[in-house]
Structure 1
């Protein structure tokens, strides 16, 4: 079952979403919403005293992409779902999203009655699943199968015209299953090949300390193309705990020798930076270079698709660090005059990993899957509800504006940053 994000007035009023209907909440019929007015309406139904910490709930209903429902069908479906779940008398808001091929609706509802009691969510997952199956049969909808993650499935770049959330989730899951990395920088290097970026978020929410991850879909230039996704929306495999666990387990599994041998051989014969990148690609290694605004290389990461390892240059040795690679290719005395100032990537490879590579690091975090015929698969009803997300009644994407990005420097980049900072400070000293 899929989880969606709470709906914001920005998402609704800028044509990413449209209000279909409401229940006991103001609706002027325009398809847009005054989020403050809706917020006030919810407050009016809130009891003056309740022990429920999270009085709001969020549900996402996702029919199969082949099922094209009318607005009337979606509205009827949503109301019937809420009635069967026991929320017929509660205020709620139904919003339709059409920003991806899979049209779907979001429902934001109050889950606390006027007597202060919370509507029971006992066995919500199973109740919801059974209700979805009933609605599939009643409305003749297709049962939707969750995409199978198989050992031979290639990892592809995010396609902006498709279901971005599903693509990001699949990329994160497959990268985590197949590759070994030890820092957030190395993790981002492999994700960047497929137009995904990860950022750490640290802060406090409702008085509780929070350490999480947020994922972004990007274009080939690294610009964000969609609303970011909290790790919790993608699955446990994308969480900070899961990724930190992969960092730890990778330490005992990585052998740098095969990668170092290949990079050493190529570095010895490369005519220039472009030749270096091309020859490494012939050996199934991608290199991600990071530049300052002045064109200096301050970060280098090697991605070996044979050994399934991601390694910052400094892990291979000092001669492969960002400083050394910059001197080798960007120093005017050594660089080829035809060498471009900026290396623009690196085409994402179509990887067909061996089973040994795909299962070595995936035993720690089980999915909600069932084995069938030797492959992992799980059935998902056509009308799917990801799991109810009981969030605060702030309909903005929760928490993103409260957090500050955490640090993600590797030693090479940190040393370079500090050196440049010292130079700037030295330049600002008054001269006597």
Structure 2
């Protein structure tokens, strides 16, 4: 059972708060007592209720904030509204707010997973004196223990022992575990103080907690599971409070944030099922956890970010973008954005630009030293923007060794075909007009054979066409077929067609073949033979 005393007020704003809940249908006015001529059955307005409480409280002008507002709640639904209302009556009696004539409003709220009531009354007694309020939060806890018959000292010791069963690695984590049980914990002068209801309930040496630290403990499988759960519910929750509620309800995990309420700098997870406290950064960065946006919105942001990178550096490559996106746990591959198990293609022009940049980056590994070399490489890698390729003033580290190796090949008398030998070394030959280049794509080497003093005649492709007195044979426009082979081909074609049509037998086909006009007679009588 918890009683939370809320801030006082001169204008009794708690009435408006509760009446608004009633209007929304998530609260009910259970009880209205001692409001003079106002009757609950006539549904008085919030303004009428406030005016009455202000008039009543004006008996004592020295009290600047006469509103007394308290919320009483139990764990889950272990008590009914009626049981909680009976408890509220006893609570008001013990706290001094139940004298004859004392006005109060009691509302039941239905918008949370635990039964709870809100009580609004005045700190002014019916006779005009101020109701005792010294140490009221401490007295409130004592009153609750008295009504419930709770031995607070014994309960505190029991809860401390329960907290010691968790795996934690720092005092802050132990403090967080105790916080989920409703305690305030702090250390001073080597001691740990456990506070509840405004009162120190237990004092123990800090060393008693420090010996329980488990440094470096990690359950990586559980961390991955919790990461998936956090990301799933982050995408369906509107804020961190709703996320905390869903994680506690569905997985028994408390999400405890550090720092300012509206801008926490970190968090930890208290896994009650496994009795483990986990530093949140080991599961999911706090910035990513608090990124309450739809997957589509996240893809839009990633796409816009890539667009900005391309504007800042028009030659940025996929690898460089990959490094930039690592913090967002996203990456791109072949024009597709991948994030959180989902994917979306980049706009066509953006994907094409990145693909072009990848090719340009590869070209620049050859360190071309003039426009001719750039043009050759751009043609090889199908890059239509040679103007974007940087011209280098230095050759690649292995360039000199490669030139020396090729000279060895050319000077070796046993090498009949330098072109073939160069191919074995990983080089292919490309010709641009009268200039010959040796290119090694694996080592990113481009050698201008003319400039490096090679005998390029030895790498020219030899014509395979037969020559007659140094002049190549001219190719005949019409191909003269061997008449016998031609006849046989036609015969087979006719036979195939006949068989395909399914006409006659083998002997019939032979008759058809003999009866057909052919060149057989001419061949037999020698008319077509040349002598």
* TM bin (shorter chain): 0.3 to 0.5
Which protein has greater RCO, CA pairs closer than 8 Å, 6+ apart? 1
- TM-score (structure 2 length as normaliser): 0.33
**Structure having the larger proportion of residues in helix:** 2
> Larger Cα Rg: Structure 1 or Structure 2?
2
